[in-house]
Structure 1
Amino acid sequence: MGRIFSDILLEKYKSELGRGLSEALRRLDATFVRADSFNFYTSVAVITSSKIEGEPMEVDSYIKHKIQHIEYLPELTEKPNDLFRAYIYAKENRLTSNHFLQAHRLLTEHLLPEHGRGVYRKNEMVVMEHKTGKIQFEAASARLLEGEMEKLWQDIDFLLHADLPLEETFYYASFIHLLFVCIHPFNDGNGRAARLLEKWFLSDKLGPVAWYIQSEQYYYRHVDEYYLNLNRLGIFYEQLDFTKADRFLMMLPGALPA
């Protein structure tokens, strides 16, 4: 491994994390015993991840839509429902680059034209902040993109087959999320895809309990901190300083029950 990921912060991460991940996961696993738990908590994950990207539908309304089958206007439900289908697909399939591209096709059905779904962009990309419209950062250039994604998937494949301690599983799940956002490989849907990718990796490593980690809801509730921590690395992809990634990496464990 080591083509694109860095373990430069791993020891610091472990020391700040302390102990208790295993107990937090045990408590989480014991909580969700009902057959409909996955649909409920996936609904929460989907709508909060969507709202980070500016979708207008309220969290409570979407839960009513998915759990109680209440109808709303299609323009409110179409894109969250696409993302919900992508989560179902991820739950039913192992994480691979091809499966991930298919998940992107699903989550962008009402976001991108057909030729833009599940394919990497060929153009340059500047990422804008949703609230202010200010430039956040310049993503990986088109000339670098395919090579960076190839390295990313090689490292992900290595990690999926490695026997990782729990702390390292969380560290690399967050690093996958972070790197994917920085590369920003698609024309749109990158944020939603990144948060799904993080959860998908965790589920392949930890089993079904990972789907109940409310990381998307945590990021939504701390959305200003989420973007600030992403921006700490720098503006230009080739000049990113991953020694400043520590605050972002610590957000995922914050989503676990205390």
Structure 2
Amino acid sequence: MKKLLKKDLFASYLSMLDVDLAEAFSTLKQREWSAANFKFATAVSVMSSSRIEGETLEVDSYVKHKVLDIEYLPNLTEKPNDLYAAYEFARDNRLNLPNFYQAHSIATKHLLPEHLRGKVRTGNMLIMEQQTQSIRYEAASSYLVKAEFERFWKEVETLLAEPLKTEEVFYYASFIHLVFVKIHPINDGNGRTARLLEKWFLSSHLGQNAWYISSELFYYNQLNDYYNNLARIGLFYEELRYEKALPFLLMLPKAMEIHQKSNTNN
């Protein structure tokens, strides 16, 4: 059986990189690890990810909420605060399947009933475009989803145990994000959980300063490209063409390029 997390595109990926990922990440490693820095970076990441899912509070307002204790109506902060708590849990716990399920349960406290949190779905799933309600793509069908997710997770565990070069870490983090979204294994919260999983994988290999990467903000700022690059590999799960995945896989390095330029300018 062919792998879900393929290395087939890695050589092309390397040839198309516009940034030295090891050098770019080294600038983030120089940033002091502190509770305040984590709070600020994670508030930006969490609200950016939440905005992708249709939450309405502005990113800077949520940063004020977390950093300065500015109060907003509960309906504006409950779901982002749940996701923030999931990021804190991921920061403090090893990436494995039980902890992943726990992180999903935390992230969806105000999104799903308790019996659906941290559970693989049993029904079919269509992913809709929020504004037009048109179909973006069809996730793994109900008869495939459990087996596909188990296969996916075994491959993730293998990658977690392997010594990977920095470029490989970024490549596979993006691929994990992409394949998870395409399987769409949970009843809801798949997008925000996929972006958390990407960051969790990065930190597992590169260390705690990976939590400072503003990948979620980059995806939010490039939202049309984010959705188009997710969609370009196919509409139906069993007909996906991962050979078309490079535009999506190269988005995370572009977020690192912005980090590098920001540090150079400062």
Give the corresponding residue for 1:66.
Answer: 66
Aligned to 2:26: 26
Structure 1 partner of 2:153: 153
1:233 alignment counterpart: 233
Contact 2:229 2:245 in 1 (8 A): yes
TM-score (structure 1 length as normaliser): 0.97
The RMSD of aligned alpha carbons is 1.3
Q: Check conservation: 2:33, 2:209, Cα contact below 8 A.
A: no
Alignment CA distance shift 1:225-1:32 (3 Å): farther
User: For each residue in 1:41-90, what CA deviation from the matched residue of structure 2 results, as whole angstroms up to 9, or x when unmatched?
Assistant: 00000000000000011111111110000111000000000000000000
User: How many residues align structurally?
Assistant: 258
CA distance in 1, matches of 2:231, 2:238: 14
Greater CA deviation, 1-10 or 137-146?
1-10
C-alpha separation in 1, matches of 2:222 and 2:61: 21
Q: Report the alpha carbon displacement of residue 35 of structure 1 after superposing the two structures with TM.
A: 4.2
Which residue is equivalent to 2:57?
Answer: 57
Structure 1 partner of 2:93: 93
Matched, 1:77 2:77: yes
Q: Counterpart amino acid of 1:55? A: E
Per the TM alignment, residue 2 of structure 1 is displaced from its structure 2 partner at its CA by 5.9
Native 8 Å contact 2:19 2:253 kept in 1: no
- Matched residues, percent identical? 53
- Determine whether 1:4 maps to 2:8: no
**What letter matches 2:156 in structure 1?**
I
Question: C-alpha distance in 1, partners of 2:35/2:94?
Answer: 22
Q: Which amino acid aligns with 2:38?
A: F
Whole-Å separation in 2 of the counterparts to 1:131 and 1:63:
26
| Equivalent residue, structure 1, for 2:264 | none
CA distance in 2, matches of 1:229, 1:118: 27
- Does residue 14 of structure 1 match 2:20? no
**Which residue number in structure 2 is paired with residue 174 of structure 1?**
174
Give the corresponding residue for 1:134.
134
Structure 1 residue 204 and structure 2 residue 204: aligned? yes
- How far residue 17 of structure 1 moved from its aligned partner, in angstroms, is 1.4
Report the equivalent of 2:186: 186
CA contact (8 A) 1:2 1:155 kept: no
- CA distances 1:150-189 after superposition (whole Å, capped 9, x unpaired): 1111111100110111111111000000000000011110
The Cα of 1:235 is off from its aligned counterpart by 0.4
Counterpart Cα distance in 1 of 2:23 and 2:32: 15
Q: 2:255 and 2:139 mapped to 1: Cα distance? A: 27
Per mean C-alpha deviation after superposition, the further-off stretch among 66-75 and 29-38 is 29-38
Q: Which residue of 2 aligns with 1:38?
A: 38
SS at match of 2:127: strand
**Between 34-43 and 117-126, the greater mean CA deviation after superposition:** 34-43
CA distance in 2, matches of 1:33, 1:159: 26
Distance between the aligned counterparts of 1:137 and 1:178, measured in 2? Answer: 13
Question: 2:22 & 2:96 partners in 1: Cα distance?
Answer: 26
Worse-matched range after superposition: 175-184 or 26-35: 26-35
